Structure 1
Amino acid sequence: MTPERPAPAVPTATYRLQLQPEFPFGAAEAAVPYLAALGVSHLHLSPVLEAVPGSAHGYDVVDPARVRDELGGEAGLRSLSRTAREHGLGLVVDIVPNHMAAFPRHNRALWEVLREGTESPYARWFDIDWDAQGGRLLVPVLGRRLGEELGQLKVDGDVLRYHDHVFPLREGTESLPLPQLLDAQWYRPVWWRLARTELNYRRFFSISELIGVRVEDPEVFAATHGTLLRLLDEGVIDGLRVDHPDGLADPDAYLSRLHEATGGRWTVVEKILAADEHLPSAWPVAGTTGYDALRQVDGLFTDPAGGEELLGHYRRFAAPQADRGGDWAATVRRAAHRVVTYELATELDRLTRLASRLCATSPDPALRDHAPWALRGALRELLVRMEVYRPYTSTDAATVVTEEAAAEARATFTVPEEAHAVDVVREPALGRAGDGAEQAEFRARFAQTASALRAKSVEDTAFYRYVPLLSANEVGGDPGAPGLFPEDFHAYCARVQRDWPTTGTVLSTHDTKRSADVRAAIAVLTECPQRWADVLAEVTGASGGAPDPHLVWAAWQTYFGLGSAAAERLQGALLKHAREAGLHTTWTEQDPGYEEAVAAFVAGMPSGPAGRLVTHFREALEPHIEANVLGAALVHLTMPGVPDVYQGTEGEYRALVDPDNRRPFAPQKEPSDKGELTGAALRLRRRRPEVFGASAAYAPLAAEGPAAAHCVSFVRSGEVLTAVTRLSLRLAEAGGWRDTSLTLPPGRWADALAPEREFEGDTRVEALFGRLPVALLERIGGE
């Protein structure tokens, strides 16, 4: 059947669907008419390649050559593509170049490596340090030490079984006594705790179940990308989202190879940028997946002054030490030290061995006589001081591995002469120690370790320790400076339109710790920090059995943001919060007594008097929460870039961290102001792509009058106008809009939600907003 119209080369907007066995290609296909009517141009699919059976996310790929059978296989994907095209939609697919699932027997490539070792043609696929562990791959799957688990290891023909795990046996070893048989394998089953210090393969962050893939090898790239590239060539899919490029040995080279292989298809990368960091200009991509935009939009609806006041209340309430949640920078530094010392100890060891080898083989005598412990300390102190995820080949690494950081690192050495180790490791990290293979490997390993450390110490630790304002603790966020002034937001948008006009933008994703609607509610607390402190004081008196004030503060903010919520939804999120924070219990060293106290406290939150107090407080603030929700949604959909709408977020969507936010998709059936606004903006983008695309324009529009600071407005290409209410509670307390006005650009302007409402020239803001605290206008007449 001939498509209704060809899908555009660059999306006008994408819609993210989380595929899983409970929501396969067929279910996505059934949703196509709904999504086409909503107004997006492309479906954005989570990974589609063969993954661990039952996987709810698909990032644990086991066979990159096959489309996942549990989702419907390649036939199902092709059918989805055909139906999408019949409705004018294209497909963007998430790809996972950095890692694969480690030890299920379904990963046939790794199975062959376990069986044949370095002789396997697949050995080059995986990032294994064969020089460590006696040339045997460490397999950290045993529940206890080997001596205690030996009886659970069973030889069954040509395989070794351990509970649900199955491993191949090296040819000719099947009949050996068990201890000798184990010693004869290319792998070594060990107690899972040894992964921290002994692991000899690169993994995804600190997740030993995901093994790094060497896509820098052209043959490995071809083998792992062949199926998706074929589907691109055949027109089944149209664009790509690249997962975690920071884990790769050389993201610059990888993205150049991918760009050439795809013929320049629209591609965005999951790059987490620090507050003042810019995407490398040399990357041949459309931009990021949009976490930088998320930070900007959230900051726009957060009161900077109120955020500071809220921090003061938090410090008095929870009384945290500066390095345990009372100060953002100190909290990050302490968390980084903990992660690099314990969780990433094996990665630091590998980097130290590389540094020692560089010193030992260098022709420069000045690099000799550096003890491994000194090199390790220098590496650790440099790594914990990096404020971005990693340096890149295409940029000057000295801008992120700074001389200031080096000076601080030197100061940590008690013997000044030993501090020279900092310079010894910094030079190759900066690419200044030559261009040989060993220098290149060191630079790549340093960058990869830095990336894992930043993710684990900030996103997975500090975000759970420093909690004055949970809405700021989001991927790509800056909890130390959560609020943003409108002029800063406008400057960001102008830069994006100039440099990366087709980059991705997001508000909610499968990885956000709280959905946009939950964050929008919590942000209102920066407009009433004293009232929140008073409510918390009253709540604390009304509730008993609180485990500790730090968790209590986080728990009630979570409850406030989520609104009326079942206790079981809070249980999982807050237990995860406590374990990630690592202040009283952790994932690996659990404190049953503390966790029982958390569970009991959370179970009593919704139904007790304290829960009713917080619920009533939220109800009183509901109009201001709605202003934030609608304002953030409209800004996201009309600012520069290509907006990605996460499944279900076109309507009210309150979700916490995964797995709460990864439930199977269901179309929004209840009409809502947010749904109406989202549909209108998306259809406008699809109908007039030139107004929002690469050649479009962005211009701020300032209001005038006593409440001008509360109206944020901008115009796209002189044809579409966005206006939203900022800090509506502060606005109400100051007396409302009064005589505040907005002078519209020349022409007549119609309300996209109510076309009969037209405006021209000098317009009172109060009249412009009318029923809703936001307005989306389209120019319908000339000057």
Structure 2
Amino acid sequence: MTAIRATVRLQFHRDFTFDDAAARVDYFAALGVSHVYASPITTAQPGSMHGYDTVDYTRVSAELGGEAGLERLVERLRAHGMGLIADFAPNHMGVGGAHNAWWLDILAWGRHSEYARHFDVDWHSPDPALRGKVLAPFLGTAYGDALQAGDIRLTWSAERGQFVVEYGPHRFPVCPTDYAAMLRQADVSVLAPLCDAFDHLTTQPEDRARAIAAQQTFTTFAAVARHAQALDAVAAAYASPEALHRLLERQHFRLASWRTAADDVNWRRFFDISSLIGMRVERPDVFEAMHGRMFALYADGLIDGLRIDHVDGLAEPREYCQRLRQRLDGLRAERPLALRATPATLVVEKILAYDEPMRRDWQIDGTTGYDFMDQVGMVMHDAAGASALDAWWTSLPGASRFTLDEQALRAKRQILAENLAAEVDRCARALHRIARDDLTTRDATFASIKRVLVEYVLHFPVYRMYPESGMRSAEDNVFFERAREGARAALRTADHALLDRLDGWLGGAPMPGTDGSGAAPPYPTPAGSHRRSALILFSQLTAPTAAKAIEDTLCYRYARLISRNEVGAQPAMLAMSSAQFHALTTSRALDFPRAWLTTATHDHKRGEDARARLAVLSEIPERWAQTVTQWSTLNARHKADGANGASVAIGPEAAVESMLYQTLVGAWPLDLTPSDAQGVAALTDRTAGWLEKALREAKVRTDWFAPNVDYERACQDFLRAILSSDPRNAFVAELARFVDTIAPAGAINSLAQTLLRVCCPGVPDLYQGTELWDFSLVDPDNRRAVDYARRMAALSDAPPSAHLATWRTGSIKLALIRRALALRALRPALFIGGDYLPLDIHGALASHAIAFGRIDRNTGDAAIVVATHLPASIASHDGLPLVTPATWADTYVDVPEPLRRAVYDIASDRERAAQPRRALREMLDACPVALLTTPVARRS
């Protein structure tokens, strides 16, 4: 098997199984990828469309085809010299429903369950109603209402040998220690033997074997018809709300409305999703229990590495990754002989701030590529358009008058108060315990600590810190200093001393005496275990706060240009120069040459080519502002409600309307015409799904917690009205006309982005189906079924330049990917491990191109990459994504000596004379990008 050089991400679910993927392996091989990168393959909640709600780490998903199906897929991959990378979610499991055996066991046995320490549960909640229990916030209504309505009921399961409380699809096992009393209450003599089996049962570990035997007796007993009738009588004894409530009060779970989770949940969630519970993977026994199946699959040669989901949710990401690397390295000797030469791939999903480097001591290959997606996105935008776009955006009615930083703080404050209140309280309690341990701070109140903590979290500039042995690193201190300065400015002076204490508790240097003398404190410092808990809880609070506030709130409120509102992006930063891009890429080449490079994911908010098209707006900000004004005027009639003789404006406010227009511009398919009523209707439906999510995520006038149905309906009505087939509706034609004018420049951006992804240092990752144009919207739109037959038919040996005339089909993008990946297969060391050399561009249009070289010092193999940059003002006006050669005038690229052997352009199938200066009018005469390399055999 070859070493990893390029991946394709596949979303597996019941409608796209291992066998479905196996049937596409010939296509993936022809495309040129080396590995399939699979969404989670362990057993998830039934019907899961993503696999991240794992319910059983020990089994390959039967819905996907089970281990036999996985073996068939890998067999097909190995026949082509390809491999498989598995996505793995160690941070959380799916709960609720009836399929997570570990979760069901803690519902039955509470903290006495053998899995109690697998989950991140606070068994010592300050709420007496939750002490020693887990909150089960799965009711659709208030607990009392559900109880009175009979929606909660007691039943029994012969298969499990249990009494179970049911609510819809959810199952809550009754603790077996209650069974004897329950059986006696029914007063049915036939139940006596079963009652004896459970008599005097306790929750202690030494009784667990007897409990298992008793449940087996239950199963056998229930198989007899008259016994089953007797068990029905037991369940009937708890039919009244009062009797059932008394039984529920004795259980190790507390049923509650889903609305209580934000305030009361006593276990760590994935962000604010109450169907995903945090795992304590930092415990060695839990680590082995969760990863055992994946280790076996790796040792058996069925997978070749792991992509780790949401690594920032873990208690100790660095230590986790180091342990994982050591285990994988230790298993290499057990793999099939042909697979032992290459170490396991190990990458992590990690969101990095622009100025935050990936830590180099984690023993990973790098991130999954959100950082690259952000960087290549910025370099496609024009910084000169920022001020005009800012002026336009802030002029819109309804747009926030706060600065973007202020908006971010407001969004974070809202998330902490409304979505993560329980998590804030848990972290504040951990800090309060530290305060009580130290005589100098024992008078610090919980309320004051929580107040200071909130400001610290609000101003924390990155996802989280990574302390080691209870102390922060120098890298952590850079970000803590910023957070401390922001918090100090926001807090009253009386809280400043406590802020300094908090800094020490959170891994800072030991605090001096409170008298300012610098002397050591006269009393013992906080216990190490309490400090470690506080560090972990703080880290697990800042990460979801940033994610929910920026990605899931601010990115749906702030719409200066939504191509920059993306997962892992920095919306405040519109653009970066090619020099900045080169500097970041050079750093990645040195530190993480095998990091992944992506431009589309299962989480993206809009497709890679939608973003590339919208980037064109940064080059024409005044024209865009004028266009939005015209469209708003044109569509104003769809906001008027003439009921009762009044005209009341309804529907989206101007800020939301402008975001809608950007969405439509980005998503409009290249083959769609205004007269295609069916196609426009399909786009309308897709956009309607986006609009609902956008409005609720923004949390301004509606949200997921309490939807404003009237407002949402008005916005949806507006969308459908402006895209209607009414002959009086001129907007659709205007929209199509505008898209048609910027689409060629958008396609140039797309091809440049594609070439940079494939040729920059790292491993290019393709998201399923994006080999053709990708104008998708946020999930579930970006997870639609892929037409692989169409893509297979579009494969061609012709160079990308041959597809220029038919560029709207996307075949030019597919051809570029295939050609570039073929070169990577031919010369892998050139792209992973080879030098990265930024190239200087001179001449009148020097700012309109980006170029770099790649060189393998061992073999002398070389490549030159050139891409058109900021094309809106220079692209030809004949409808092709190309700059007329004469337009380039005297612009040229300086080519240093090691790169002059690169003379064969795979984008146009031409050989060009070796020169120290390469004129762009020649390099880019047939295609908007060029990839020159040392001569290779032509494709047959």
Task: Give TM-score, length-normalised by structure 1.
Answer: 0.96
Deviation string, structure 1 residues 434-481 (Cα, Å, up to 9, x no partner): 671111111001000111111111110111111111010111111111
Amino acid at match of 1:553: S
Corresponding position of 2:562: 470
Offset at residue 397 of structure 1 (A): 6.3
| Structure 1, unpaired ranges of 5+ | 1-5
Higher deviation after alignment, 500-509 or 255-264: 255-264
Offset at residue 400 of structure 1 (A): 4.9
Higher deviation after alignment, 224-233 or 312-321: 312-321
User: What is the rounded CA distance, in whole Å, between the counterparts of 2:485 and 2:610 in structure 1?
Assistant: 41
Amino acid at match of 1:778: T
User: What is the rounded CA distance, in whole Å, between the counterparts of 1:309 and 1:497 in structure 2?
Assistant: 35
Assess if the C-alpha contact under 8 Å between 2:97 and 2:169 holds in 1: no
User: What is the rounded CA distance, in whole Å, between the counterparts of 2:547 and 2:462 in structure 1?
Assistant: 10
Corresponding position of 1:339: 415
1:579 aligns with 2:696: yes
Offset at residue 556 of structure 1 (A): 0.2
Q: 132, 136, 139: which one pairs with 2:136?
A: 139
User: What is the rounded CA distance, in whole Å, between the counterparts of 1:736 and 1:534 in structure 2?
Assistant: 28
Corresponding position of 2:498: 421
Corresponding position of 2:99: 106
Q: 73, 76, 79: which one pairs with 2:69?
A: 76
User: What is the rounded CA distance, in whole Å, between the counterparts of 1:423 and 1:313 in structure 2?
Assistant: 42
Q: What SS class does the counterpart of residue 390 from structure 1 fall into?
A: coil
User: What is the rounded CA distance, in whole Å, between the counterparts of 1:110 and 1:432 in structure 2?
Assistant: 40
Assess if the C-alpha contact under 8 Å between 1:15 and 1:647 holds in 2: yes
User: What is the rounded CA distance, in whole Å, between the counterparts of 2:430 and 2:890 in structure 1?
Assistant: 67
Q: What SS class does the counterpart of residue 59 from structure 1 fall into?
A: coil
Q: 845, 866, 875: which one pairs with 1:723?
A: 866
User: What is the rounded CA distance, in whole Å, between the counterparts of 1:432 and 1:748 in structure 2?
Assistant: 54
1:219 aligns with 2:285: yes
User: What is the rounded CA distance, in whole Å, between the counterparts of 1:501 and 1:425 in structure 2?
Assistant: 38
Map residues 148-297 of structure 1 onto 2, 5 A cutoff. Answer: 148-150=145-147, 151-157=150-156, 158-173=163-178, 175=182, 177-263=243-329, 265-297=344-376
Offset at residue 57 of structure 1 (A): 0.2
Map residues 699-778 of structure 1 onto 2, 5 A cutoff. Answer: 699-717=837-855, 719-732=862-875, 736-744=887-895, 745-747=899-901, 749-761=903-915, 762-778=917-933
Q: What SS class does the counterpart of residue 71 from structure 1 fall into?
A: coil
Offset at residue 536 of structure 1 (A): 0.7
Assess if the C-alpha contact under 8 Å between 1:401 and 1:426 holds in 2: no
Q: 18, 21, 29: which one pairs with 2:22?
A: 29
Corresponding position of 1:7: 2
Moved segments of 4+, more than 4 Å: 431-435, 732-735
Offset at residue 42 of structure 1 (A): 0.6
1:520 aligns with 2:637: no
Corresponding position of 1:488: 580
User: What is the rounded CA distance, in whole Å, between the counterparts of 2:614 and 2:701 in structure 1?
Assistant: 25
User: What is the rounded CA distance, in whole Å, between the counterparts of 2:389 and 2:397 in structure 1?
Assistant: 12
User: What is the rounded CA distance, in whole Å, between the counterparts of 1:385 and 1:135 in structure 2?
Assistant: 34
User: What is the rounded CA distance, in whole Å, between the counterparts of 1:674 and 1:372 in structure 2?
Assistant: 58
Assess if the C-alpha contact under 8 Å between 2:848 and 2:869 holds in 1: yes
Label 1:588 to 1:33 Cα distance change in 2 as closer, same or farther (>3 A): same
Offset at residue 432 of structure 1 (A): 4.3
User: What is the rounded CA distance, in whole Å, between the counterparts of 2:663 and 2:786 in structure 1?
Assistant: 23
Map residues 346-365 of structure 1 onto 2, 5 A cutoff. Answer: 346-362=422-438, 365=439
Offset at residue 401 of structure 1 (A): 4.7
Offset at residue 729 of structure 1 (A): 1.3
Corresponding position of 2:880: none
Offset at residue 606 of structure 1 (A): 3.0
Corresponding position of 1:511: 603
Assess if the C-alpha contact under 8 Å between 2:457 and 2:483 holds in 1: no
Assess if the C-alpha contact under 8 Å between 1:606 and 1:612 holds in 2: no
Structure with greater contact order relative to length (CA < 8 Å, sep ≥ 6): 1
Greater Rg over alpha carbons, structure? 2
Higher deviation after alignment, 189-198 or 219-228: 189-198
Amino acid at match of 1:247: G
Assess if the C-alpha contact under 8 Å between 1:331 and 1:465 holds in 2: no
Amino acid at match of 1:701: L
Amino acid at match of 1:715: G
User: What is the rounded CA distance, in whole Å, between the counterparts of 1:89 and 1:25 in structure 2?
Assistant: 15
Assess if the C-alpha contact under 8 Å between 2:381 and 2:618 holds in 1: yes
Corresponding position of 1:302: 381
Label 1:270 to 1:748 Cα distance change in 2 as closer, same or farther (>3 A): closer
Amino acid at match of 2:434: L
Q: Over aligned residue pairs, what C-alpha RMSD do you find?
A: 1.7
Map residues 538-553 of structure 1 onto 2, 5 A cutoff. Answer: 538-543=630-635, 544-545=638-639, 546-553=651-658
How many residue pairs get aligned? The number is 767
Assess if the C-alpha contact under 8 Å between 1:105 and 1:111 holds in 2: yes
Amino acid at match of 2:634: A
Q: 310, 313, 318: which one pairs with 2:392?
A: 313
Q: What SS class does the counterpart of residue 50 from structure 1 fall into?
A: strand
Offset at residue 583 of structure 1 (A): 1.0
Corresponding position of 2:648: none
User: What is the rounded CA distance, in whole Å, between the counterparts of 1:171 and 1:179 in structure 2?
Assistant: 17
Q: 664, 680, 683: which one pairs with 1:559?
A: 664
Map residues 395-434 of structure 1 onto 2, 5 A cutoff. Answer: 395-396=473-474, 398-414=476-492, 416-430=493-507, 432=509
Assess if the C-alpha contact under 8 Å between 2:467 and 2:507 holds in 1: no
Label 1:640 to 1:398 Cα distance change in 2 as closer, same or farther (>3 A): closer
Offset at residue 173 of structure 1 (A): 2.9
Q: What SS class does the counterpart of residue 724 from structure 1 fall into?
A: strand
Offset at residue 33 of structure 1 (A): 0.5
User: What is the rounded CA distance, in whole Å, between the counterparts of 1:417 and 1:748 in structure 2?
Assistant: 67
Offset at residue 760 of structure 1 (A): 2.4
Q: What SS class does the counterpart of residue 567 from structure 2 fall into?
A: coil
Corresponding position of 2:712: 595
Amino acid at match of 2:305: G
Assess if the C-alpha contact under 8 Å between 1:42 and 1:92 holds in 2: yes
Corresponding position of 2:743: 622
User: What is the rounded CA distance, in whole Å, between the counterparts of 2:58 and 2:124 in structure 1?
Assistant: 30
User: What is the rounded CA distance, in whole Å, between the counterparts of 2:401 and 2:501 in structure 1?
Assistant: 32
Assess if the C-alpha contact under 8 Å between 1:238 and 1:265 holds in 2: yes
Corresponding position of 1:3: none
Q: 112, 121, 135: which one pairs with 1:119?
A: 112
User: What is the rounded CA distance, in whole Å, between the counterparts of 1:89 and 1:123 in structure 2?
Assistant: 40
Q: What SS class does the counterpart of residue 402 from structure 1 fall into?
A: helix
Offset at residue 319 of structure 1 (A): 4.9
User: What is the rounded CA distance, in whole Å, between the counterparts of 2:290 and 2:762 in structure 1?
Assistant: 30
Offset at residue 743 of structure 1 (A): 4.0
Label 1:193 to 1:368 Cα distance change in 2 as closer, same or farther (>3 A): same
Q: What SS class does the counterpart of residue 131 from structure 2 fall into?
A: helix
Offset at residue 757 of structure 1 (A): 4.0
Amino acid at match of 1:74: E
Q: 707, 723, 729: which one pairs with 1:606?
A: 723
| Structure 2, unpaired ranges of 5+ | 157-162, 183-237, 330-342, 511-525, 640-650, 670-679, 796-810, 856-860, 877-882
Offset at residue 493 of structure 1 (A): 1.0
Q: What SS class does the counterpart of residue 352 from structure 1 fall into?
A: helix
1:643 aligns with 2:764: yes
